[in-house]
């Protein structure tokens, strides 16, 4: 096969979710609607928390940052796909592909890190309620968000460096709607065995450690709740972390489901369709989960609506 030098690769071709021309208008309307709902929903969460002094607490500070990460996460992939469907162009430049991949990993890892931070916040609130204000002070909250960002940036740059060293073949078609690192490794003509080992190692660290932190926090939370004497206290404790636990299950459940299914039976088109779950559906549903299941958010929304009216 003909090898192309790194400097000669100018563009890739994103094959998208479906090749059926009749489905393109439906896909355009569907993804545009989901994108607008996700962006507007997360912006509404940010606006509500920012405008209501009752919500100026660590939990909602982290929620605002999670909403920002969700907006960045879905904006990395969906607008390019929408433009491609509208213009019937599947081309993405080499630099654009690597940039999209970097931001996709940055915001995806940021989501996972913030969910871990929010789990730690709930752990402190339930297991150490008397010391909550002292422990979760504003300086620590800002520090945790900054650490989450820099860890996510580190993972993003590691992926960027590994992919930028690859040499690609003449076939530059990516069977996906965004530049997924695994798809780029499949297109490479150079030996990628070392890079694939590094990818799994990085994934185990940057994905496994946050997930372990979430699981450990909720293990301690559940243990503390079960020791509470009254059922009312148990219900109140569970209700404070119910929304977060739902988001954790949705984010990690869909993400792990996609990658485990692709490892068992590799199907590019199936992977592209199932990836929609954690790249599009999860950021869209997060605002609804927090607004519908959270009494404070609903009350703040009603107060904001009444002030506006």
Say if residue 76's pLDDT is above 90: yes
Q: How many residues does the chain have?
A: 309
pLDDT, position 266: 61
Contact 262, 19 (CB under 8 A): no
Quick one: 152 exposed, middle or buried, by C-beta within 10 A (0-12, 13-18, 19+)? buried
pLDDT at 293: 66
Q: Which of 14-18, 127-131, 166-170 has the highest mean pLDDT?
A: 127-131
Task: Supply the mean pLDDT for the chain.
Answer: 84
pLDDT in tens, 221-240: 888 888 877 777 777 777 77
Half-sphere exposure of 89 (CA within 13 A, CB side): 8
By the 8 A CB rule, do 111 and 155 touch?
Answer: no
The domains located in the chain, with CATH, are: 10-308 (1.20.1070.10)
The share of the chain scoring above pLDDT 90, in percent, equals 32
Distances in Å between the alpha carbon of 238 and those of 125, 141, 243, 259? 12, 22, 9, 30
Tell me the C-alpha distance between 106 and 151, whole Å. 9
Element spanning 263, H or E = helix 231-264
What's the confidence (pLDDT) of residue 260? 66
pLDDT at 104 over 90: yes
**pLDDT at residue 3, as a whole number:** 43
Read off the pLDDT of each residue in 209-226 and give the average, rounded to a whole number: 88
A 10 A CB-CB count for 126 gives 22
Residue 34: both structure tokens together: 């989901």
More confident residue, 42 or 170: 42
Angstrom distance (rounded) from CA 141 to CA 147: 10
- Examine the pLDDT at 113 and tell me if it is beyond 50: yes
Q: What pLDDT does residue 190 have?
A: 74
Residue that has been written with the tokens 């219900």 in this structure: 235
pLDDT band for position 109 (cuts 50, 70, 90): very high
- What pLDDT, on the 0 to 100 scale, is given for residue 308? 73
How do residues 174-211 score in pLDDT, each as one tens digit? 888 888 888 888 888 877 778 778 887 887 888 888 88
Alpha-carbon span 111 to 125, nearest angstrom:
21
Give the pair of three-digit tokens for residue 305.
Answer: 């609506």
Greatest mean pLDDT range, 77-81, 272-276, 297-301:
77-81
pLDDT digits (tens, 9 = 90+) for 280-295: 888 998 888 877 667 7
Q: How many secondary structure helices (H) and strands (E) does the chain include?
A: 11, 5
Q: How far apart are the first and last CA of the chain?
A: 66
| Cα 120 to chain centroid, rounded | 18
What is the value of pTM for the model shown?
0.88
User: Model confidence at 34, in pLDDT bands (50, 70, 90)?
Assistant: very high
- Round to whole Å and give the CA distance between 162 and 194: 10
- Residue with more model confidence, 212 or 171: 212
| In the predicted structure, residue 5 carries a pLDDT above the cut 60 | no
Residue 2 — very low, low, confident or very high, per pLDDT cuts 50/70/90?
A: very low
Lowest-pLDDT choice from 12-16, 59-63, 190-194, 204-208? 190-194
- 148's CB contacts (< 8 A; 6+ apart) are 65, 110, 113, 114, 116, 117
């Amino acid at each position: 096969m003909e090898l192309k030098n790194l400097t000669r690769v100018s563009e890739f071709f994103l094959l998208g979710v479906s090749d059926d021309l009749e489905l393109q208008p439906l896909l355009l309307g569907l993804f545009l609607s989901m994108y607008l709902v996700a962006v507007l929903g997360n912006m509404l969460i940010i606006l509500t928390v920012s405008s209501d002094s009752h919500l100026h607490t660590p939990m909602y500070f982290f929620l605002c940052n999670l909403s920002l990460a969700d907006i960045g996460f879905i904006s990395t992939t969906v607008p390019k796909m929408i433009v491609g469907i509208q213009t019937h162009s599947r081309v993405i430049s080499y630099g654009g592909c690597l940039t999209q991949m970097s931001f996709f990993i940055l915001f995806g890892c940021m989501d996972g890190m913030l969910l871990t931070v929010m789990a730690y916040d709930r752990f402190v609130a339930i297991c150490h309620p008397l010391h909550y204000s002292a422990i979760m002070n504003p300086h620590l909250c800002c520090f945790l968000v900054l650490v989450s960002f820099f860890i996510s940036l580190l993972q993003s740059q590691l992926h960027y460096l590994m992919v930028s060293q690859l040499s690609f073949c003449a076939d530059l078609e990516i069977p996906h709607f965004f530049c997924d690192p695994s798809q780029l490794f499949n297109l490479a003509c150079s030996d990628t065995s070392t890079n694939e080992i590094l990818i799994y190692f990085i994934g185990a660290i940057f994905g496994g450690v946050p997930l372990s932190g979430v699981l450990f926090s909720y293990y301690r939370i559940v243990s503390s709740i079960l020791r509470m004497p009254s059922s009312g206290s148990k219900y109140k404790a569970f209700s404070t972390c119910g929304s977060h636990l739902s988001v954790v299950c949705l984010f990690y459940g869909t993400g792990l489901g996609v990658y485990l299914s692709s490892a068992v039976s590799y199907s590019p088109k199936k992977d592209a369709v199932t990836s929609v779950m954690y790249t599009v559906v999860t950021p869209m549903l997060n605002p609804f989960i927090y607004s519908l299941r959270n009494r404070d958010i609903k009350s703040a929304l009603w107060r904001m609506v009444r002030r506006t009216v």
